[in-house]
Structure 1
Amino acid sequence: MTALDNIADVERPVMHDAAQQLGLDTTGSRLISASSRLIWHLPVDRVALTITRPGSKTADDIGAEVAAVRSASAGGVRTPPLLAEPIELADSRFALPYRWIDGRAFESTDWPAGVVEAAKLARCDPEGLRRLRWPTDWPDPAWEPLLGQPLFTEISGRVHQAEQAVDDLLRVDNLVLCHGDLQPANFLVDEAGDPWLVDLEYACLTPPGWDAAKIILLADRFGDPASYDDLLRAWGELNPRDLASCVLAQEVQIVCWLLRMARAGGSRVEEESRARAKTLTNRHRRWRHLSG
């Protein structure tokens, strides 16, 4: 059995409870992802049933995601719609029934169409959407044993600089909706060859260059996309100084997310989190995908 199979065995009762409350058929159900949250494919009703991990989200978090999804859909963005209102489960968990989209994994050749879809978010109605929030528990003292004192001190300074940069960037009137976690895994290409944006878990209002900055990071740190100059045009004219600040802040954010994951265990995550922290100031050093 695979690790995903083991998780599915443990989590299946929770999925059945959620599906029953939502009136969904679980025949042929299969767990397809178990990262920040669990995603089940329910083929009979063509549903991607997303279930949060215990205590990882609040009702306000779920409300913010729902608002972002609805704004994106109303703005013409290809993103799977919610088929019913989210429900709260035991252990501070939530279930969100999204429409299942048949398709294939995103490939490097899909980037031109993918960024066009992502850039549509910036033109969606921002009314009532939540602003970007920098985590209040960063830097976490629990990172010090993992990093060692000198590196922890350096990273802590970078975190405070990034937090200040974000505060400055948010003091504008032209905040726009962004995806917040653009990466190949959060695109799906349907049978017609059109890209869909999935997993708007971190969608929020940000400075205009926030999602564009993530494209720069993906190119510089992971080599996918291979280049970004042409892709950034999808967002129109961006302020170069603000874009650079978005890049620096998100680079720190990515390292901090991984350090948070490392606390939950796994030598591979710990190793990569240290490697990224050590090379945070060296843009020429590539980072590895955890699945690679």
Structure 2
Amino acid sequence: MVSGEGESQNGAGEFTAESAEAVLREACATAGFEPSDAELLRLGSNAVYRLAQAPVVVRIARDPASMESMTHAVRVARWLEGEGFPATRVVPGVEQPVLIGGRVVTYWENAQDTLEYASLDELGDLLRWLHWLEEPEDLRLPYFDSFAKVWHSLGLLDAVGDDDRTFLKERAEKLRKDYDELDFVLPFGMIHGDANVGNALRDKGGRPLLIDLDGACLAQREWDLILTALYYDRFGWHTRSEYESFVHHYGFDIMNWPGYPVLADLRELMMTLWLGQQVHTNERAAEEFLRRVHDIRTGGSRRGWQPY
């Protein structure tokens, strides 16, 4: 998704490995799967489990209010399958998404048994192909409102100090003014919403595919390029040659666009706000949040930022 959402809403309680496992057991019982020996692959915006007894991945959303976005994800996955586009597939014959234990659950076909990410040139090819597709009106994709997400995230910083909260709010207000003046150059249309190499895997046959479709929406295509540029330019998570290969395969370098600094500032703010919602339950997130706020406040290097 373009930005992470909060936890502890709608009575669902804190989102931990223990609480997610309880939801997993009930989700498997509901769909007729066996949860024993399931492997927890990721615990972030979603708890992602790979089942040992079936070729199925179960995703449990952190945000209890994500039913609409996960409904879109299922619709998008089915449409992309019909288009022959390489993306994660929903498990057929299973009703989804479903609400279990106050969390939204979906079931996906297991694409691989060992984690292998696609390369950046493969990500560039996937995004170029995705952006060529013309989504049907009945897909009913939402329009992306970046600042609705920013204001929502700011309202969830209940464990953050007043000084940091005020600073982040003032930065958001400044970025809103700068964002309104941007002149986007790429066509408007469907985007993945959280396009980065972490959401591009290789399947068992070595074919690259996109996963995590719940952020799919209608927006300026620049949003699908900004994370890869950030990871290279500011964070140092990609090499120059990797980034240049991505640009070559996609066909556009967002860093040459005059609006790049504003979009980059906004995207890193959204990443930081997502972390800020977890500081009261996750010590590592709390430390990373403080590091990021300090660097944004002082104009410091982002090279110390850790993937999360």
Residue identity in the other structure for 2:28: A
2:65 paired with 1:57: yes
Shift of 1:238: 6.5
2:75 paired with 1:67: yes
Shift of 1:28: 4.1
What count of residue pairs does the alignment treat as equivalent? 280
Instruction: Please list the CA deviations of residues 236-288 of structure 1 after superposition, one character each: whole Å capped at 9, or x if unmatched.
Output: 346713444432321221121111222x3233212211211222273743143
2:243 paired with 1:226: no
Match of residue 199, structure 1, among 212, 219, 222 = 212
- C-alpha spacing 1:226/1:283, structure 2 compared with 1 (3 Å): farther
2:175 paired with 1:162: yes
* Aligned mates of 1:171, 1:224 — CA distance in 2: 26
The equivalent of 1:117 in structure 2 is 126
The equivalent of 2:10 in structure 1 is none
- C-alpha spacing 1:197/1:188, structure 2 compared with 1 (3 Å): same
* Aligned mates of 1:288, 1:173 — CA distance in 2: 29
CA contact (8 A) 2:51 2:58 kept: yes
The equivalent of 1:131 in structure 2 is 143
Say which SS state the counterpart of residue 75 (structure 2) adopts: helix
* Aligned mates of 1:237, 1:184 — CA distance in 2: 17
Say which SS state the counterpart of residue 94 (structure 1) adopts: strand
Shift of 1:193: 2.9
Which deviates more from structure 2 when the two are superposed, residues 24-33 or residues 37-46?
A: 24-33
- C-alpha spacing 1:58/1:192, structure 2 compared with 1 (3 Å): closer
Shift of 1:20: 2.6
The equivalent of 1:258 in structure 2 is 275
TM-score, length basis structure 2 = 0.76
The equivalent of 2:32 in structure 1 is 23
Structure 2 residue runs of 5 or longer lacking an equivalent are 1-15
The equivalent of 1:288 in structure 2 is 305
Bigger RCO of structures 1 and 2 (CA < 8 A, at least 6 apart): 2
Which deviates more from structure 2 when the two are superposed, residues 98-107 or residues 198-207?
A: 98-107
Which deviates more from structure 2 when the two are superposed, residues 231-240 or residues 41-50?
A: 231-240
2:265 paired with 1:248: yes
- C-alpha spacing 1:85/1:171, structure 2 compared with 1 (3 Å): farther
Instruction: Please list the CA deviations of residues 200-228 of structure 1 after superposition, one character each: whole Å capped at 9, or x if unmatched.
Output: 23222221111111111111233222122
Shift of 1:147: 4.9
Shift of 1:120: 2.4
* Aligned mates of 2:176, 2:143 — CA distance in 1: 14
The equivalent of 1:96 in structure 2 is 106
* Aligned mates of 2:176, 2:85 — CA distance in 1: 30
* Aligned mates of 1:216, 1:92 — CA distance in 2: 36
Say which SS state the counterpart of residue 255 (structure 1) adopts: helix
* Aligned mates of 2:185, 2:123 — CA distance in 1: 27
* Aligned mates of 2:195, 2:206 — CA distance in 1: 19
Residue identity in the other structure for 2:81: S
The equivalent of 2:96 in structure 1 is 86
The equivalent of 2:294 in structure 1 is 278
- C-alpha spacing 1:13/1:79, structure 2 compared with 1 (3 Å): same
Shift of 1:106: 4.3
* Aligned mates of 2:183, 2:58 — CA distance in 1: 33
